[in-house]
Amino acid sequence: MKWTLKKGKKRDLFQYTQRKLTVTYTWLIVLFLALFAIIVSLFFLFMAYREQSDSLRSTLYATEDGRVVVPDLAFGRSDELYFYYVLDQRGHVLAGSDAVPQLGERNRARMAKWQPDGDAFRLRWQPEEAQRVGTMTVRTDDRLLFVGAHPIMTTTGPATIYAAKDVTFYWDILRNLLLVFILILIVFIIAAVKLSAAMSQKAMIPIQRTFKHQQQFLADASHELRTPLSIMNTSLDVIELENAETITPYSKEVVSDMKEEIGRMSRMLRDLLMLARSDAGSVEFEMAAFDMVPKLRQWVLAFESVAQKKGIALRTMFPDALTVKGDSERLKQLVYILLDNAIKYTPEGGKVDVGLDPNPRQWRIIVRDSGIGIAETDQPRIFDRFYRVEKHRSREEGSAGLGLAIAKQIVVAHRGSVVLESAPGKGSTFSVEFPV
């Protein structure tokens, strides 16, 4: 399994949250406006459909002395009627009238194919047409027709009344209404972004204030507690020296345990102070060019004795020279964290390899171990503060779960990235990449 901590600048949590809130507020405002536009449009369509269907139904059902009333459309459309036909089942015309006679044959042919069992309505788009009639050319514009059908029984058998109304006017209204809504939506989006940004910024003020107070408290507490811990450690040294001959083995073991716990607390406070200062942006990185190879050899050499005690083979693979730009002290801290974890979680007789890979575009520090490995579910969280994969073992080893969180801060400050390849029982490989 491979997991990557992407490179880039340190992300400001508050700016990120504010942007998320701005986007959320904007989408909510736009969503409500879009829902309003949809509801208004649907209401308009419903009202137009009901009005036109009632009007068309009254035309379809119109009778006089038991006979169907056929409107005369020869000299213009009556009540916006476009055509009116009474067709038998074979499509023969029993009665009819057209507002545009030249298109009557085509309209009747289309209607003859539609023979519903009961009353039915449908929309039909009639595109622009030009038809030559003698020396004249008849042109019709694009029209939207609302067509109704009503089956009847005549003396000659079943027939169907077809009537169509020109509802292009309503289509134009709807189209213009949608254009207006789109323009309003654009204006509202611009206004919503500005309003949402102001709202999110105002909402973040108390959170930022509380977080800064918490950061300050953490930094102050970490700094103030270092002094009493140093005094306690010194006092224990004095006790050991003054009572070296009379102290019992049990008391000596207790003093040793106390010194170990004080050391663990001191390291934790140092790490907490570093993270608190990093969050506050007060940690300064002194970037300078230097040869990485001799520095890395020296840093790895500091872990030789620890590795030998566990019977771990500590192997290196470095080029002759590699000039890099960075903060050597922070990079030293990064290498120490990776090596400490590698040796800590590698059983006796295992191997830890440290490599330095030069590249024209980027250089890499590689730390590979043959240890217990990291489960896939734990890999995305190992850089979180106080997160420990094996909590009981980490506590026994004196780990507070801050090492990799500090390593992350160092890598991000150098605009680098970390690639982790690991599997339970197969060891882990940390590949830290830095731009040249």
Both 389 and 360 in a single domain?
yes
Listed in sequence order, the residues at least 6 apart from 5 whose beta carbon sits closer than 8 Å to its beta carbon are 383, 408, 411, 417, 418, 419, 420
Of the candidates 228, 219, 221, 83, the residue with the CA atom closest to the CA atom of residue 162: 83
- Report pLDDT digits (tens) over 346-370: 888 889 999 988 887 888 899 999 8
| Tally of domains within the chain | 3
CATH of the domain at 273: 1.10.287
List the domain range (segments joined by +) for residue 297.
288-435
Taken as a whole, the chain contains a residue count of 436
Of the candidates 354, 292, 342, the residue with the CA atom closest to the CA atom of residue 317: 354
CA distance 357 to 342: 19
Both 274 and 316 in a single domain?
no
Listed in sequence order, the residues at least 6 apart from 192 whose beta carbon sits closer than 8 Å to its beta carbon are 25, 26, 29, 30
Q: Check residues 12 and 120 and name the one with the higher pLDDT.
A: 120
> Is the pTM above the cut of 0.75?
no
CA distance 166 to 243: 111
CA distance 164 to 81: 6
Decide: 418 and 431 in contact? Cβ < 8 Å: yes
Of 20-29, 289-298, 390-399, the range with the lowest mean pLDDT is 390-399
Q: Of 280, 298, 315, which one is at a domain's C-terminal end? A: 280
* 114 falls within a domain: yes
Pull the structure tokens for residue 83.
């055509």
Mean pLDDT of 253-264: 77
Both 235 and 294 in a single domain?
no
CA distance 139 to 143: 12
Residue 277: pLDDT band with limits 50, 70, 90: low
Q: Give the bridge partners for 133, in sequence order.
A: 136
Tally Cβ neighbours within 10 Å of residue 96.
Answer: 19
